[in-house]
Amino acid sequence: MGQQEFQDSQKLLNERGLPTNFGWARSPLWAYDRRLILVRKHRIVESERYVLLAEDKIVLIEVVQQGFISYVSVSVVDLILKKAWSDYFPFLFPLGMFSGSPTPSGNLYKIRDKRLLLDINVLENGNRVIKIDIPRFNHGKGLRGMVVMIRPPFPEALATVSPWRKKPHCFRYSYAAPWYALEGVIRHGEEDLVFYKDHSWAVLLWDRGLNPAHDIHYWSCAAGITKGSQVSLSLGYGLMNAEYGTENAFFINGSLQKIQQVTFKISPKSWMEPWILTSDDQRLTLRFTPVAETRLTRKRIFQSIRQTTFFGFFQGVYTSENNEVFELNKIPGVAWREKVRL
């Protein structure tokens, strides 16, 4: 069966609460309403991840609710020094703070307590403003600042809805937008992390769904400039059934070019060795070289999350749909592996 592309609005869950209309689209055509999920509500997953990229640094902000586990995670990475600092903030009783928007374009989060302040808002023009203040980040050095994710005109994103085989209630609704320009300053200790609009980028990964009891998921993204064009990518796979639409796409100035299967070849000796990513049609061949990593482990009741995130550089070749060759030379990006038991 070939991948199914949709161009019109679709129903995500039917009257029995079962997911339907599996496939992919260039915009978020599915309407998500968690109230329609009728079974196994303890396995509902809702998350947003913001990857802030520059040639010498990365900031990763994650807002995640997976079953009974809710948390904010923030990582700061110096790609030149090959160092990463991260803090993790669990919320036992979020009290509505993690009630994110049912659509990627909606207003998102205002998370405030004595440990951190995180405001994420969507403006009318589609830009996103992130304000963050973590006084005790990195053993008291602190992290504070504001950045603006600048939406390009008329971009295409990658939205996918995928099932799991023999698990009729389970689904993943994923939306990846890796083409934002980025501008702003985040102060880490005594250092200003300056993101200049022409040399900095941001990636949004928005997920909603109902997970099975066990899942493993891989995902990677990167953005940069090649041949005077902004190029970016979103590549991922997991245990779900991706025959209707994979999580793989390459973007040129915000225009999506769909990729079907991508193989992640990772050394069993060390995940810090280069990864090789290759598409089934050979149009995409990449080498991802990690320079730093962070690890997150969280358990609550019978549920657990284990995530390892790698930060580094992508290089390789992509051949576009009109046979134009784009050479990627050391553009910044991330890749991660997440293992979940819900």
Question: Has residue 3 got a pLDDT over 80?
Answer: yes
Q: Tens digits of per-residue pLDDT, 174-206?
A: 999 999 999 999 999 999 999 999 999 999 999
Per-residue pLDDT, averaged over 241-262, amounts to 97
**Predicted local confidence at residue 134, as pLDDT:** 99
The residue range of the domain holding 265 is: 18-30+40-341
Q: Does the residue 155 lie in any domain?
A: yes
The answer to whether residue 10 sits within a structural domain is no
**Structural domain tally of the chain?**
1
Taking only the tens place, the pLDDT of each residue in 51-106 is 999 999 999 999 999 888 999 999 999 999 999 999 999 988 665 566 678 888 87
Has residue 97 been placed in a domain?
A: yes
Q: Is 142 contained in some domain?
A: yes
Could you tell me if residue 228 is inside a domain? Answer: yes
- pTM for this structure? 0.96
Residues facing 65 on adjacent strands: 46, 70
pLDDT tens digit string along 140-179?
Answer: 999 999 999 999 999 999 999 999 999 999 999 999 999 9
Q: How far, in Å, CA of 229 to CA of 279, rounded?
A: 22
In a domain, 206, yes or no: yes
Give the C-alpha separation, 197 to 300, whole Å. Answer: 40
The pLDDT value recorded for residue 96 is 57
Confirm whether 220 is domain-assigned.
Answer: yes
CB atoms within 10 A of CB 325: 11
pLDDT of 21 reads: 96
